[in-house]
Amino acid sequence: MKPKLPADPQTCPHCYVGRIQQSSITYTAIISGKLLSVPDFPVWRCDVCHAYVYDPIAIGQLQASLSAHQKAILDEKARRTSRKTASS
């Protein structure tokens, strides 16, 4: 579920009381069974409830990078498979 930012982007979309400010966290995720850790990942954090929303530009760049990396891995596997088939 994609969080919606309020019309006034300085108001927290979770508590509607605090103000959001640019900050950073360590982004962690498990992707294909492997731990991914990205230090200093940009977020918008509330000064009252401390909820955060990932920066949409940064998350888009991360997804594009991961997609390109996954494609490179699949291409390499396909090349290895075709080499084995050709040499048999």
**What is the C-alpha to C-alpha distance for residues 52 and 60, in angstroms, rounded to an integer?**
16
pLDDT for the residue 46 = 95
pTM higher than 0.75: no
C-alpha 52 chain-centroid distance = 13
Residue 67 neighbours by CB under 8 Å, 6+ apart: none
Residue ranges of the chain whose pLDDT lies below 50: 1
Fold of 20-87: Ubiquitin-like (UB roll) (3.10.20)
Q: What ranges do the domains of the chain cover?
A: 20-87
Summarised one tens digit per residue, pLDDT across range 57-76 is 999 999 998 888 777 777 77
Largest CA distance in the chain: 68
CB-based contact 72:33 (threshold 8 Å)? no
**What is the C-alpha to C-alpha distance for residues 62 and 52, in angstroms, rounded to an integer?**
17
